[in-house]
Amino acid sequence: MQATIPEAAPVTVQSAKNVDEHIIEIVSDSGEGAQTCGQLFADLCARNGNGIWTVEIIPAEIEPPKRSRAGASGNRIRIGSHAITNAGDCADIVVAFNEQVLYSRIDSGALRPGTIVYVDGSWLADSDERVVEQYRAAIADFRARGYQVIPLPIVEECLRYADDVRKGKNIWVLGLLCAIYDLEEARVQESIAKKFGKKGPDAVKKNAQLFTAGYQWALKHVEQRFHVAPIAGAGTRAQVVMNGNQAIALGIMSAGIEVCSMYPITPATSASHFLAAAFEQTGGIVHQAEDEIAAIGFAIGCSYAGKTAVTITSGPGLALKTEFIGYAVMAEVPLVIVVVQRGGPSTGLPTKVEQGDLLAALHASPGDAPKIVMAPATIEECFHFMITARKLAEEFRGPVMVLSDANLATGQQPFAKPEFDPNWLAAPLDMSPWEHETPPFAWDPETGLSRRPIPGQRGGEYVLTGLAHDEHSHVAYESSINQRAMKMRSRKLAVLQSALRPPVAHGGDEGDLLVVGWGSTLGTIEEAVDRLRTEGGKVSSVHLRFFSPMEPGLKAIFRRFRKVMTVEVNYSDDAGDPWITEDSRRYSPLAQMLRSHTLTDVDCWSRVPGSPIPPEMIVTELRKVLDGMGRGEDVCRG
């Protein structure tokens, strides 16, 4: 490569400008470490006391062709001097290791006019004429789109310290970003030493040099630097930072679950990776089964023998597990099933976010199979819901499904460090003799609840079956027995509902418009509601965590608003599209549920972009709805 890039002139470096929050994206070809760079940067910001939320930018392949639009790999990090609950809107700064991968971000609407684009300018010196031409054309295009384009001499700079620049660029860029965001160099060097310590002193030294080079280059050449103050009082409370899959894995351990039985599937697998590495210390195992069906079968066998197990999957895996889920309902086997949702149907969008498995979780079993279905809305809830899930599974003697999604799975967020409580653990197995006169399904006629004998309990011997059975677990085809057993299994959900509190609306208790959401969209929806309320919109939101049983009191809440609608990362027909009538329109899953559950005319706005929906997009849609209501259009007919 010839050095034909003009040396950037030193600039008058101004002191960092204070900003309340910023969104940064780092993108590269796969394998160049933009993800590591993003994670390290996010981690440093979190340690600095900033609010953060991250989104992984993941290509579908392990190593797609270089310099291809669809090959973008990296991270989006939103940092703030307040708690950050979602990925936000357009990026303020983007660092791209080549100009082509940036196009996938432009296509996703991640940039706006004015976004500062740092792009490696080394491509201008590439020996391949076509690359040079592509680069020139792209830069001209970026400028025409109104981005502030600033070329970086990444390769040239890195070659001073590393032979393989593909492995070094990311740390140079980390240095650059830390200088831009006014993070203390010494503190970052500590983190680098920790991160690369395992690879030996040479790796630490090389990365420290790369970091310093990027940092110093930025101090000399970057005009616009920013300071995002830590959250007031940061450092006074103990915090942890992790992604949703790590939170689920830690939650599994903390719940006293000893077996995670799984089959690899994106985006659920990283939870098992973490467990496979760390479970051993807390006395647990990860069983990698031969397929999804075996994974749940193994978990059910383990649960039957007394140790409530967890199986983790995503949509296609859920589809395969459904027969066993029905079995766990019918035979009342405690079991925790985590579904980290991705885009569907079929193989769909394996690495992308969607909330499309809600109805499958509820209904994808033959016959009536009442089970508990819940969904955490934050990474912190991913942790705590696992503890709740195991307890509910045992208390209510059946499967509990926990729906997470790709956005929670890969997003990182700080939250209050969980104070471990020994009561979270499962009690040791009770091996005392079983009372002979008590049948294995001694359903309480009021609640449907019953205790189960565990192998090892003398006198409790019984045969579990997925066939219709009486309280002795004897196969029974009599109609009266079947009706009663179905009633008992269903009753348990009503009992659980009685223990739930009605949700509290965010915003106000009444108004024009109520938005209902669930899962990872919590922060986005609330931010959109807050923005609209500051401009006078009478908008509120409720966010649901339980779907089976449904949270209580919804109808009463809905009545206090003129219109109710869901916002989901799901498909629904848009009213007004060709052939779409009030009669033919297909609603998004939560809207369908709420319509039937509350007999309210719940509307929906939902999209399947494969990425988190930005808050401003929701604001725009809700504003349209509010404007329409102002004109008397389309209000609830509850």
Partner 1 sequence: MQGLKKEWEIEPHEQHHEKADYAGAMPRWCPGCGDHSALNAVKRLCYEKQLPPERTVVVSGIGCSSRFPHYMKTYGFHGLHGRAFPVACGVKSRRPDLHVFMVTGDGDCCAIGAGHWIHALRYNMDITVILLDNNVYGLTKNQTSPTTRLGEHTNTHPRGAIIPPLSPLTVALGVANTSFVAQTVDWNPAHVFNCIEAAHAHRGTSFVRILQRCPHFSAHVFDAPVHDPSLLLMLEHENGVGLEPDKLKKLPNRMGHDPANLEEARAIAAREDVYPIGLLYRNEHAACYDDFTSHGLSMTQLEKQTAIRAAIDKFAI
| Residues lying near partner 1 in the complex (CB under 8 A) | 43, 46-47, 238-242, 246, 250, 253-254, 256, 258-259, 261, 278, 280-285, 287, 289-291, 293-295, 297-307, 309, 323-324, 327, 414, 417-418, 420, 422, 425, 428-429, 431, 453, 455-467, 474-475
Q: Calculate the CA 58 to chain-centre distance.
A: 14
In the structure encoding, which two tokens stand for residue 617, read together?
A: 């997009």
Nearer to partner 1, 50 or 98 (CB): 50
Residue 577 beta carbon to partner 1: minimum distance, rounded to whole angstroms: 42
Nearer to partner 1, 123 or 434 (CB): 434
Residue 440 beta carbon to partner 1: minimum distance, rounded to whole angstroms: 10
Residue 278 beta carbon to partner 1: minimum distance, rounded to whole angstroms: 6
User: If you write DSSP's letter for every residue of 380-410 in order, what string do you get?
Assistant: HHHHHHHHHHHHHHHHTTSEEEEEEEHHHHH
- Comparing CA positions, the residue from 434, 614, 464, 394 lying closest to residue 524 is 614
- List helix spans (H) across 145-255: 154-159, 169-180, 185-196, 201-221, 244-254
Residue 380 beta carbon to partner 1: minimum distance, rounded to whole angstroms: 12
Nearer to partner 1, 209 or 303 (CB): 303
Residue 615 beta carbon to partner 1: minimum distance, rounded to whole angstroms: 26
Nearer to partner 1, 68 or 239 (CB): 239
Residues contacting 447, CB < 8 A, separation 6+? 491, 492, 495
- Comparing CA positions, the residue from 217, 223, 64 lying closest to residue 155 is 217
CA separation for the pair 451, 101 (Å, rounded): 57
CA separation for the pair 275, 121 (Å, rounded): 41
* Residue 548 host element (H or E): strand 546-548
Residue 258 beta carbon to partner 1: minimum distance, rounded to whole angstroms: 6
Nearer to partner 1, 260 or 529 (CB): 260
- Tell me which residue has tokens 């509902």: 497
Nearer to partner 1, 168 or 453 (CB): 453
- Alpha-carbon torsion (141, 142, 144, 149), positive or negative: negative
Residue 170 beta carbon to partner 1: minimum distance, rounded to whole angstroms: 21
Nearer to partner 1, 323 or 634 (CB): 323
Q: What is the 3-state secondary structure (H, E, C) of 336-386?
A: EEEEEECECCCCCECCCCCCCCHHHHHHCCCCCCCCEEECCCCHHHHHHHH
Residue 316 beta carbon to partner 1: minimum distance, rounded to whole angstroms: 16
Radius of gyration (Cα) for the chain, nearest Å? 27
Nearer to partner 1, 281 or 584 (CB): 281
